[in-house]
Every structure is written in structure tokens, then in C-alpha cells.
Amino acid sequence: MDVPVWVWIVTVGIIVAMLAVDYIGHVKTPHAPTLRESAWWSAGYVAVALVFGGIVWAVWGPTYGGEYFAGYVTEKSLSIDNLFVFVLIMASFNVPRKYQQKVLLVGITVALILRTIFIFAGAALIENFSWIFYIFGAFLLYTAWAQIRSGADHDGEYKENAVLRWVRRVFPTTDDYVGDKLTTKIDGKRYITPMLIVMLAIGSADVLFAVDSIPAIFGLTQETYLVFTANAFSLLGLRQLFFLIDGLLDRLVYLAYGLAAILAFIGLKLILHALHTNELPFINGGEHFDVPEISTAFSLTYIGVVLLITTVLSLWKDSRDKKKFAAAQSSSDDTEA
């Protein structure tokens, strides 16, 4: 895939402009967005991502277009799972609703920077060491197993990591929020506020998210441009998506299993690709294996079907549980009467 430098510059410029609109138009005046506002902006970001995918399809062909859409859908799905952690962090730090947009946007900006670094590092590794696909594949299979073990348990209590504990010990911190300020002066002494701490928490969580998501998308496409844009567009609408599906997150009880199925599938795809391009002398004498490789069209179809089944089953179980609860409550009221 031949991507001219000017295309990279224009793409990065569009992404920076979209971030600037968020910082200037939404976060500058703290407020809790309405459901309608979140829905419109979420739809807008998805539309931009789809239009971009259409351009890739038209300019570079259906193969690369399909790879972009498969990567975008996968990264968007993993981003939804990340929202569970964001909810825990917000609750743990008691972030006022009207300031949550700013926290999320800074977290998304940090994620974009970190993932860009990981993407170019991963691309360099793939370019020079084809055996890295074995490691990526094995890691995704392990991550899929971890997702299955975790199941739908997203109700755990958030625990600060070592970096946050170190920050609290080294720097004086205020007990309460001071508006949306990151630092403040009290009696001539500079203090950091919980707002800065929670942003560090979101940012450090993004490191773990990047470690999971980058190998996953490299299993769908090895084109650095597509990996970067699919990640960027999946992250840009995450702030609005948080407020849109905040109440829906707890109802997606089977999401972890769906993501496990997707990650395991991509892990298998990576290992098959590694066998197909094998150069390790201690495996098959350094010769390639004649194994089938999974097509992009099949990958995209599989991911879409898994997400559809996961969502439908989750909402069905939630509806059934609510009906059981209502029936139990009604029975209890009749007994008391």
C-alpha cells in the first residue's frame, strides 16, 4: 500500500483538528452532555470513520478497505470494553459529572500518543523480525483466555497502581477538586488536585489497553497507515460513546466472551500467518508451512457476527433477569399483603 507523505500529513491534520474541536468546543465549558448531544456526536464520529473507510476502499481497493473496516470494528469493540475500566476509575475518584468529559478527552489524547508509538514500534518489529507474529498470536490467545476467566465481572474495585501511589507520596495533593484545575496554590505552596491524579490513572490504564489492541489489529492488517487510522478513529468518538452507553455497559454481560472469541480468532490468524512466513531455523528447518491463511472478508464477517450475537444475547439475558426480578418483587408484595 503506497501512502504518500502528503496523505499522512493531511490525515494527521484532520485528527488534530477533530481533537481541537473537542477541546475548544466541548471541554472548555465544563458540562454533563445530554443523551441527545452524545448520540449526535457519536453518530458524527462513526460517519467520519465510515467515510474515511470508503475513501480507502475507492483509492486503494477492497482488500485494504476491508482491512481498515475489520481493524476499526475490532478497535471500537475493544474500546467499549475499556469503558468499563473508565467507569471504575471515575467512580473511585468521585469525578464530578461535568468534569468527566475533560478527563476522558485527556485520556484519549494520551492513548493516541501511546498507541502511535506502539504502532510504529510494532511495524518496525514486523518489518525486521517476522517471527514476532508468533509472539503476538500467543499473547492474544492468552488475552482471550484472561477475558474468558474474567467473564462479565466488571464490578471490581479500582486499585491505584504504583505510579499513582508514588505521585501521592512525592507531591502534595488536595483532598477535594478545585474546579477542573490540575494544580492550585494554597498559602503560596503548589498542590496537585485529584483531577490530575485521575488523568494519570486514565493515562496509565491506556498503556495496558494499547498492549492488547495493537497486536490485535496487526493480526488484521500490517499496513501502518491503516493500523494508525483505525486506532485513531476508534478512539476519537470514545468520549461521546462513554456518555451514550454509560447506562448500557452493565447490560453487556457477555461482552468479555465476545471479545475473547475475537481475540482468539485473531491470535490464531497471526499464528497461521507466522507459520506461512516462517523463517525460524528450529521450526520446520526454517521452511514455510503450507497452511491456509484467513481472508480479510472472512475476518470482517466473523467479527461482525460475534459482536451481533454477543449484544443480542446480553440484552436478552438482561431483559430476562429484569422480568424475573419484577416477578419476584410482585410475589413478595402479594405475600406481605
Distance, C-alpha 155 to centroid of its chain? 18
What's the pLDDT score for residue 162?
A: 65
For residue range 112-128, what is the model confidence (pLDDT) as tens digits? 888 888 888 888 888 77
CA distance 323 to 337: 21
Confidence of residue 9 (pLDDT cuts 50, 70, 90): very high
Q: Which residue has the higher pLDDT, 208 or 123?
A: 123
What's the pLDDT score for residue 134?
A: 87
What's the pLDDT score for residue 41?
A: 83
CA distance 22 to 16: 10
Q: What is the mean pLDDT of residues 70-98?
A: 81
* CA-to-CA dists, residue 247 to 49, 83, 243, 256, 265, angstroms: 24, 11, 8, 17, 29
Confidence of residue 227 (pLDDT cuts 50, 70, 90): very high
Residue with cell 526454517: 286
| Model confidence, pTM | 0.78
User: With 70 as the cut, is the pLDDT of residue 205 above it?
Assistant: yes
In this prediction, what percent of the chain has a pLDDT beyond 90?
Answer: 15
What's the pLDDT score for residue 114?
A: 82
